[in-house]
Structure 1
Amino acid sequence: MSSILLPLAGGAVRYALPAPPPLLSSLPDTAPQARSRTVFAAAHVVAHPHRPNGPGLPAAVDWDATLAFRHHLWSLGLGVADAMDTAQRGMGLDWAATRELIERSGAAARGAGGRLACGVGTDQLDPDRLHSLKEIIAAYEEQLEVVEQAGAQVVLMAGRALAATADGPDDYAEVYGRLLTQATHPVIIHWLGDMFDPALAGYWGSRDLDAATATVVELIREHRDKVDGIKVSLLDAGREIALRRALPAGVRLYTGDDFHYPELILGDEQGFSHALLGVFDPLARHAAAALAALDRGDVETYRAVLEPTLPLARHVFAAPTRHYKTGVVLLAHLAGHQDRFTMVGGAQDHRDANHLSQLFVLAAEAGVLPDLELAAARMRHVLAERGFEQ
């Protein structure tokens, strides 16, 4: 195998490409849906390689590559969670592009028979001013209609506008109560921690997470028939387990914890989490293999597949966590799913060369890159664009 010169901590390091781990040859290219867990991979979008995509510009999306990646996820038996934060929702992907993404993904899901959930938010509102609860509800309602017309399951996203306006738990209860009453089918509620988006600090009306948890549990109990589950991204396994145990019977907890997903999905004697994970975008084949093992009761293989991916996942989602999308898209490029390492909003520049180099090493050692020679060639080009020559 060849080697690659990488800028790592302490200076330039000549890294010899490792032999592919034995596990890699056993990862599936296609798989049926899991029977024991409901799992969504939150999918990224592919920026158009030949159109402007700088900060503040309208998003220019490569629709063919973006939809091809969704078909890749469906072929592995995973649901697709689209128009979420992994797709740079409100972080480079504007509402016009988001609406088109929802409509295109809806049509693709119908054709493929794939499971699809899409985010409903308020990002069509002007971010530079406060909005009334009435305006916020109207914005959510507009997007709710778009997602339901696309035939996708609704994910009620945590909203920056609501976080900025709400005075306390009662305002959240008013907004969510109105939306849940209108939803045609049970929705997934989305609780995204401020490590993913600082503007969401104090969501549910309190910075005290115990109080916030009590508020959302009460909301779910009040609207039990309209809630399929809650997606939680707090990166706190103990808090997620406690919330899972407090939910009404039949309401799913979808883990969004990209630090502890193997143990949370596996669960314990009192239950388990389902999953809606950004990290399953680059780990789709691993996820499919692990879920198949879980379906047949083979916990040893489940652990053997997923646990070695944790160092990579924790690096991708390292602080500042909101920039994890950069690592997700680099991995898609290195794995051959898109020709260029470019992102809407210019977000490919949100991580430095040292971070990306360590990501390459961890991905190679976890068996996430199916063709290491191709990945190394692409990584050399990425580093050259940042001024680091071989």
Structure 2
Amino acid sequence: MPLRQLLLCGSIIVTIAMGIRHGFGLWQLPIITENGWSRETFSFALALQNLSWGFFGIFIGMIADRIGAYRVLIMGALCYALGLLGMAYTSTPLAFFLTTGCLIGLAQASTTYAVVYGVLGRNVSAEKRSWAMGIIAAAGSFGQFFMVPVENVLIDWFNWQNALVICAVLSLVIIVLARGLREPNYTGSHGAGQQSILQALTEAFTYRSFLLLVIGYFTCGFQVVFIGVHLPSYVKDFGMAPHVASIALALIGLFNIFGTYSVGLLGQKYQKRFILLSIYSLRAVAIILFITLPLSAMSVYIFAAVMGILWLSTVPMTNAIVAQIFGVQHFSMLSASVFCSHQIGSFFGVWLGGYLYDQYGNYDLVWYIAIALSIVSALVHIPMNEGPIKRAVMA
């Protein structure tokens, strides 16, 4: 498979899939106003979405390792379109949870990093893998930079429901792009003398360094989804215009293009665990300064730019460590397994944001939790061993 084709199609797929979801915070106030819901209701749906993404992702990873990414991506695109239509037209919390939560979560598990990275792992040499993963992660960042302002314009021009319908149509483009990730000669992860799924999972979840990655990724999910969903409401509570939040979310995407690509390059030269340690430490510093200094539009933009550099930078490093330790036979499944922790963190980040806001009228306690988690995650990467695991030669 030509590397250029793989990177181009994979990047656009992730741009669409990640770009659409990064703007969901823009729909919070229109949807809860239209339906008379609380912020907690909307937050719980997105929390369920992230949890579904993580849970379904493990099984989607197994399927992608077995049959390849092509058919998985087609199924994911169809689920994405149906889920967005449900998000637009459901009027009860239960239906909203099932479509916006479960169905879109399944779609995201089938159209984002674990599936695309599985193809990368099998078709890119270990020497270039960190760089290639950085490019795909940067594409997801470009999706946020490009799609958030577009979604804001769509909401203003066509109303919030029609904007979701347009996004549903856009998600179907993934079906066309999936052809660029077809692997005609791929025979799957099964075969004589190879690890079984159960053996691979047992090996990973009894290996200390994998568990340390799981802890770190929890923090990443908590922080990025809390900020992505609740930052628009946070700045509006301080009397700022809606465009401040839109610009901030776009800046996160813009600066993360450079952050993820740069981290991908650094991962080829330096130990990846120390890069992750630095990312989590800098996030803690950025949040402390943001909530303690006087808030203004400029401080929001600076915070967004700094967080953008650190936003998805954890993704190529974490996945590269997984491939480096365990190899690529069950890479999609193991990548999705560690990502499940990210999504559990996302669940708590977005849900606690809404719940604690309704309880106390502000987001202060959630910010403090995010800082504490950053410190813990920075520390757990110190004893990590990112070298290849030593296993007995299989018969």
Q: TM-score, with normalisation over the residues of structure 1?
A: 0.28
- The structure where strand makes up a greater share of residues is 1
Bigger RCO of structures 1 and 2 (CA < 8 A, at least 6 apart): 2
Q: TM-score, with normalisation over the residues of structure 2?
A: 0.28
- The structure where helix makes up a greater share of residues is 2
